[in-house]
Amino acid sequence: MKENIENTVLAIVSHPDDAELLCAGTLALLKDRGWKIEMATMTAGDGGTATLSAEEISRIRRKEAATSAARLDANYHCLECEDIFILYEKSTLLKVIELVRKVRPRIVFTMSPSCYMVDHEITSKLIQTACFSAGVKNIATTSPPLFSIPHLYYLDALEGKDRLGNAVEAAIVVDISDKIDLKEQMLACHESQSGWLRDHHGMDEYIISMRSFSAKQGHAVNAEYGEGFRQHLGHAFPQDNLLAKELGELVKFPVKTLTNDNYKHVHENI
Summary mean pLDDT of the chain: 92
DSSP for 4-16, please give it.
---SEEEEEESST
Question: Is it the case that residue 229 has pLDDT exceeding 90?
Answer: yes
- Please write down the long-range contacts of 233-239, taking CB distance under 8 Å and 24 or more positions apart: 233/262, 233/265, 233/266, 236/132, 236/149, 237/131, 237/132, 237/149, 237/151, 237/152, 238/149, 238/150, 238/151, 239/265, 239/266, 239/269
Interacting residues of 230 by C-beta distance below 8 A, sequence separation 6+: 112, 153, 154, 170, 171, 172
**How far apart are the C-alpha atoms of 84 and 256, rounded to whole Å?**
34
> What pLDDT band is residue 203 in, cutting at 50, 70 and 90?
low
> What pLDDT band is residue 5 in, cutting at 50, 70 and 90?
confident
**How far apart are the C-alpha atoms of 231 and 242, rounded to whole Å?**
10
- Strands 107-110 and 75-81, how do they pair? unpaired
Higher pLDDT, 256 or 134: 134
Candidates 7, 2, 17, 49; CA nearest to 155 is 17
Q: Are 78 and 46 in contact (CB under 8 A)?
A: no
| pLDDT tens per residue, range 151-178 | 999 999 999 999 999 999 999 999 999 9
Q: How far is CA 151 from CA 8, 32, 168, in A?
A: 11, 19, 20
| pLDDT tens per residue, range 17-42 | 999 999 999 999 999 999 999 999 99
> What pLDDT band is residue 191 in, cutting at 50, 70 and 90?
confident
Residue 201: phi, psi to the nearest 5?
A: -100, -15
**How far apart are the C-alpha atoms of 208 and 30, rounded to whole Å?**
24
pTM of the model: 0.92
**How far apart are the C-alpha atoms of 145 and 158, rounded to whole Å?**
33
pLDDT at 193: 82
pLDDT at 244: 97
Question: Is it the case that residue 263 has pLDDT exceeding 50?
Answer: no
